[in-house]
Amino acid sequence: MSIRFPRAGLLLRAVLLPLLAAAPGTAATAPPAPEALELASVHAVVMDVETGDVVFRKHADVATPIASVTKLMTAMVVLDGGQPLDEWLTIVDWPRERSKNAYSRLRIGSEAQRRELLRIALMSSENLATNVLASHYPGGFDAFVAAMNDKARALGMSRSQFVDPAGLSPDNRASAADVARMVRAAHGYPDIRALSTGYQHTAQFRSPRYTLPFGNTNPLVASSRWTLGLTKTGYLREAGRCLAMVTMVEDRPVAIVLLDAFGTRTPLGDAGRVRRWMTTGHGGSIAGAARDYERRKVRALLEDGGDGVTATAQ
């Protein structure tokens, strides 16, 4: 007897076929070939969120700056703390030594609810909001950062470290494999799923009363061609363009982690290539400038010793 998959895509086959391999007469279909997927991002992981199985990895064990993707860890620590999401918090400024690249439209001394700050940190990458959340955590800012690192260890993120809740420091580092573990864990929080995937939001403040509009830093949330269950972008000069998200592919949630890419559109193009590869087996081509950037960065990693780097995707 042969078993057919009239509508199932390649990801679903990759998950189901090993379970059927022992059954006599079962037809076997190979999963997508890794070499058929070329990405412009230097580091990448594609993971089945339900099973935790990694279906694609590229230089996935190298610790690298992750910029504002950090905020997924920040959100988990906030929610794990159990403090009321409707509590009004005073907007406090960054410590002087942490003020680099920390521009914000929030008014120092005004107030916002914890949920509001968490929302704009996730969907719009509002940096000062993370400082406010950390400063109002039991024990303050330093205790919050310590909790981030404790959470990372609990999740098995062995190549990660955090020094601030926003990702402004290039010393916030993780491997793509560790970020995938973080994304899978964050996807288990309904509040993170809901707050990170909004398209637009008008935040409310008081003392004095004012409002500010915010938009999502990932334009895919507005596309009818994508169904996102979680998203976070990031950028620092040292980190390149980063994207971590969960999307539906053939009715299954898939985590896509893309770190250190060239240009704002490159991670979005890589995400499209991942989805195309998973449904057709072919990823498509990448632009010349993005390809040159990726090759240059990989050469630099290899010259630095290549710990965790492979010459090709694995």
Instruction: Give the separation between CA 105 and CA 118, rounded to whole angstroms.
Output: 15
Query: What whole-number percentage of the chain has pLDDT above 70?
Result: 85
Report pLDDT digits (tens) over 96-132.
Answer: 665 556 789 999 999 999 999 999 999 999 999 999 9
Say which residues have a Cβ less than 8 Å from residue 313's Cβ, sequence separation at least 6: 34, 35, 37, 39, 44, 56, 57, 58, 59
Catalytically active residues are 68, 71, 125
pLDDT higher for 83 or 103? 83
**Mean of the pLDDT values across residues 282-311?**
85
DSSP state at residue 31: P
Note the pLDDT of residue 176.
98
pTM comes to 0.88
Under 8 Å between Cβ of 256 and 244: yes
Q: What value does the mean pLDDT of the chain take?
A: 89
Map out the domains of the chain with their CATH numbers.
31-303 (3.40.710.10)
Look at residue 181 and tell me whether its pLDDT is greater than 80: yes
Q: Which of 113, 202, 117 is nearest to 165 (CA)?
A: 117
Least confident piece of the model among 52-66, 101-115, 177-191 = 101-115
Residues 6-13 have a mean pLDDT of 41
Q: How many residues does the chain have?
A: 314
- For 146-162, write each residue's pLDDT tens digit: 999 999 999 999 999 99
- Residue 103 confidence (pLDDT): 84
CB neighbours of residue 249 within 10 Å: 21
How is 238-292 classified by DSSP, letter by letter?
TTEEEEEEEEEETTEEEEEEEEEESSTTHHHHHHHHHHHHHHHS------HHHHH
Q: Which tokens is 1 given?
A: 């007897």
